[in-house]
A and B are shown apart, each in its own frame.
Chain A
């Protein structure tokens, strides 16, 4: 990428989102939410959107619109009509509980894997108004499922959770394939590129390489910056684990926590030489108020897009190239508390979920109507210059 990402448009939503991803075909953006649903948007080129008379206002609403919403001065002000792409809300996918913390698309089929914080795992078509689950397992884990990973060939999915288990499932029918019981809460996991092993990271920032067919830990190494004990709080900093390039580099990202409670900590990215387990790069992305790297997207042109969230109001979008110690691009303006970044398969566009301004505050704060408002996650659409 030679130039800065260009803002295309910010789409407001009416709830807090956790994990946005584009479908491999590029037609759907989906995100788990904090209110037990998966939100979906149809990705529509503006010309097509005009053809189907989709107004900007419809696209600006997170809630699926049964009818076009009235013109709203605030939305009109926020809209950037030059955007070539619109996100048109689709009906949410319901039937989940608590938080939908992780979603993952099938690599080849039009299916979405969804997990929630009560331990449910489901596989559902992601198109259509009310798609019926292909399969679901309400008790896949006995606690929050923190992450779903899909093998490169799409045949297996792996999940990990607060119940200290890694579980592997047949993606076609949801049948269990393997399981591994660990000794602490597991925050992140990923398949190795060849699909034979799983790497997972736990609360204590220990990374384990699992031969899941043999239920055997092959090796372990530490990502020490991602954990601290603060008084009696185990502060877990790992949020991301993914392979870069062709699998030689394993990236861990999250927070180097300084303390619990407020969770003051520095956003950190660490590259490991996967063959040796040795750290080869540690990039610290700010001060202790800036918190966590919550999500990353690896661009095939060889750079990393990452987002951070720290103390309320603090958030960053950064671009980092291999071997560099400093981001080549950092954006903070208008991006408070970013929790996910989704790269479109066209490799030109990406979406960052952020948080509305003024999301925090002690005590009573009501709207003019006397309602107690929740926070929301705007969707910030960017374009990568050619």
Chain B
């Protein structure tokens, strides 16, 4: 028998048993405490496993990375801002930075724009759930599988060979010669191709949330506007869109974070070659090269880019708690 099955069974039964056992144990331990301290101590015992994991896997390493970003490759010496200087002076990082900016702008615009378009369109057809399912499905598959699906779409054979890639076969019908989509970096064409793949995966996410918000707009309100003589475009522009704005803002922040963290698609489709690199892939490459100082500095840049969004999230959360 595969020895891993033994381990897996131990984990499957053991871990829940240990965790639930822990909660029972805290109750027994609490009996030793005087009555008035019990309600004070109990929450901390319940939170302890979660706080321990959060500290060890998120807080401590973030501080560690921050410190390491000021140290050299093998973590033996303090080198001040050298790693950050390297970041702003190397062509590779600047291209990655430019690409990430393209990712943030265009992934957000594509996903939110097309998601909104689809949500509004399918609201008017009877096969709505089918259409939504089709758009939504890519969200369930891995970015690696999505990359394969699209690498095949973009497949390129030299002119004269049979074009089996769908895109090149399609443009071939119109007599256009085949294009090596993933290698052309003029106007960052290949980066846009990669962003398109990510948009194919994530548009369903934007669509589902916008669609749920769309359904919550009262039909009477829209009917009243139509009776007053507003045409469909005016109804959308003046009523539906403003009511959807808060939802669109929420979806946009999620898409911005997704774009900043983009990794799998670049790693699988181009490996960052042909000027398609992004910060997350650059950082992974530095880990595999063993330059932990520089890798840490890249991670810190990524963190700094995300911190403002963290602020927005917290403020929105507090606003919600206020109306709860």
Same complex: no
